[in-house]
Amino acid sequence: MNQYPPIADHGMVGDLQTAALVSSDGTVDWWCTPRFDSPSLFASLLDSERGGHCRLAVELPDDGMSVRQLYLSDTAILVTRFMAPGGVGEVADFMPPVESPVATDRHTLIRLIRVVRGSLPFAFDCRPRFDYGRAPHTLNRPAGHRAVLRGAGMDLHVETSEAIAMHSDGEDVTARFTLSAGQIAAVVLTSTPAGADAPPERSLDEVIGLLERCRAFWLSWLRSCTYQGRWQDMVNRSAITLKLLTYAPTGAPVAAATMGLPERVGGERNWDYRYTWIRDASLSVRALIDLGFDEEAYAFRRWLRDRIDAGGVATGDPLQIMYRVDGDPRLQEEVLDHLEGYQGSRPVRAGNAAADQLQLDIYGEAADALIVGGDIGAISGWKALSGVLDWLSHNWDRPDEGIWETRGGRQNFTYSRLMTWVAFDRGIRAALYSSRPADTERWARARDAVFRQIVERGWHDERRAFVQHFDTDVLDASLLLMPRVGFVSAHDPDWLSTLDAMDEELVSDSLVYRYDPAASPDGLRGSEGTFNLCSFFYVEALARSGRLAKARYAFDKMLTYANHVGLFAEEIGPSGEQLGNFPQAFTHLALVTAAMALDEELGRAGTDPRAAHLDHLHVTVHDLVTRHGSRN
């Protein structure tokens, strides 16, 4: 089996239409272009031999050299630093943001190299593999420091500065060069449609100018952030990550930048997350609204209204659970048998068959996203929402596949009912507030029926807890959102006993499992790690329930699982490793909401910092004793 870097061993760069991952050894091992959901150009993260990569690094034995990676503060510029006895060098990776709202089929990834001390030898290897590694390519090198690698429907243009002389290696390009202190060089990769004009030559000064403009863009964008709390750096990084994962021409956020990364190494839970889930996107936009980024929220609400107006999904329902970033509902799933998968984790899937599932909770998240900005009084917005709620009033009482997209058959999931309650509740409030025409009596009857059903059938007397679905006693961490959406008070005894049950069964040292697949089969083999989204929802639930010391301790521990540049994947494995697609929007939006809830509750409590510190230590000791036992 080939060797692979840890999933967490990456930073992400992007231009608001696509994104690339760069490992800490200087390798671009994931890039799909011209869009997030396009076939890959570099995918050695899924097959180190056949996937393709672009490596730019100091070429020295590992002994005596250390590598560190960081973001330039509050930007999406990733810097990889190589520190060796002979010198110190760094590679700055970035993609100039495409600020036009129009989709483009030209995208540029820039790798700027400089040596700050001594003298260092560098190696550059560019080995693209077009169409997920299925299509051959040819090398066309007219002269000098420019080359074109021509693949299936696409060209990759490679331009280097004077210090880097490229050579052919079969149909790929490679270079070996040395830089001394004060010297700067650059590699510019540009993807274009096949046969398109080559990009204009750029001087080194022009490339440095692009770096400065990229930095200015991110600093300017972040000025809109209203968060001024205790975890500024982590919240800023999460906000930038959510922005990087949003397809600017339509305003549609994707769930993650990657596909096929496993929830358990060697397992089959390897999904394609490069699409826009109504649920994930709605929650992401809500997090951005809470941070003050109203333009992103407006763009997504427009995209969401367009999806409702377009209709035409295969199921005949008003919405499909996910779409391509341009709104196309066709996401046919295929298995890429020629790729071995990350550390042998097969199958590698492109597309997502879950798009045809029924998940009724999406209507609650969609209603909340459309209403939260206060512009639902607009005629187009109200028509979109009221039509959906009229449909939902006749269709809410159906089993579905649920939030976790189980492939083991439909159930009456409590979370799905919860979010249909949210849809009716938000719709009624909006109709009354905005004086808009609506059959609010019918919506109210449906809302009340949903409420009674959750209380009567979603509650398990023996467990003293709300459970996953009406025919089980299994717990489900998605219900951590019950207080946030307003269904129950965070201090209600029934909710607190539910939280206690989850703490006993689903929580492992602050990390939270979605549910127990052994107790509630989901149609898939194997296990998975703890789910970062749920771990941050747990922090928020603890904070809102008044368990502040425990909440803060859990949050602090969760932050230790972030990677070296503050990014999170979907899950945490048994040894603290990150698992699943990366970086995950769900995780970062939940980090934002957890931080804001903690800040708000800590501020409300007016905790003295010294007392908070002592309380924090007390909980730490109590946690150690109760979880690991007394030594007496």
624 CB neighbour count, 10 Å cutoff:
11
Answer yes or no: is pLDDT of 631 > 70: no
Answer yes or no: is pLDDT of 424 > 70: yes
Answer yes or no: is pLDDT of 626 > 90: no
**C-alpha to C-alpha distance for 141 and 321, rounded to whole angstroms:** 45
Map residue 361 onto helix, strand or coil: coil
CA-nearest of 23, 20, 161 to 95 is 20
**C-alpha to C-alpha distance for 141 and 138, rounded to whole angstroms:** 10
Q: What is the 3-state secondary structure (H, E, C) of 325-359?
A: CCCCCCCCCEECCCCCCHHHCCCCEECCHHHHCCC
Answer yes or no: is pLDDT of 582 > 90: yes
Taking only the tens place, the pLDDT of each residue in 318-351 is: 999 999 999 999 999 999 999 999 999 999 999 9
C-alpha angle 55-212-231 in degrees, rounded to nearest 5: 85
What tokens does 176 get?
């070996």
Query: Residue 378 has what pLDDT?
Result: 66
Higher pLDDT among residues 272 and 617, named by residue = 272
What is the mean predicted confidence (pLDDT) over 185-192?
Answer: 98
Taking only the tens place, the pLDDT of each residue in 51-105 is: 999 999 999 876 789 999 999 999 999 999 999 999 999 999 999 999 888 999 9
Taking only the tens place, the pLDDT of each residue in 592-622 is: 999 999 999 999 987 544 444 434 444 433 3
**C-alpha to C-alpha distance for 527 and 36, rounded to whole angstroms:** 28
**C-alpha to C-alpha distance for 430 and 91, rounded to whole angstroms:** 51
Map residue 360 onto helix, strand or coil: coil
Query: Residue 518 has what pLDDT?
Result: 74
Q: What integer best gives the mean pLDDT of the chain?
A: 92
Taking only the tens place, the pLDDT of each residue in 441-456 is: 999 999 999 999 999 9
**C-alpha to C-alpha distance for 283 and 295, rounded to whole angstroms:** 15
Answer yes or no: is pLDDT of 527 > 70: no
Query: Residue 265 has what pLDDT?
Result: 93
What is the mean predicted confidence (pLDDT) over 14-33?
Answer: 98
What tokens does 187 get?
């590699």
What is the mean predicted confidence (pLDDT) over 13-34?
Answer: 98
What residue type is 149 in one-letter code? L
Residues facing residue 94 across a β-bridge: 110
Query: Residue 632 has what pLDDT?
Result: 31
Taking only the tens place, the pLDDT of each residue in 230-239 is: 999 999 999 9
pTM, two decimal places: 0.94
Q: How confident is the model at residue 516 (pLDDT cuts 50, 70, 90)?
A: confident
Query: Residue 312 has what pLDDT?
Result: 72
Taking only the tens place, the pLDDT of each residue in 381-423 is: 788 889 999 999 999 999 999 999 887 789 999 999 999 999 9
**C-alpha to C-alpha distance for 407 and 409, rounded to whole angstroms:** 6
What is the mean predicted confidence (pLDDT) over 541-561?
Answer: 97
Taking only the tens place, the pLDDT of each residue in 485-502 is: 999 999 999 999 999 999
What residue type is 467 in one-letter code? V
Query: Residue 188 has what pLDDT?
Result: 98
Answer yes or no: is pLDDT of 557 > 50: yes
C-alpha angle 514-516-519 in degrees, rounded to nearest 5: 150
For residue 238, give the H/E element and its range: helix 232-244
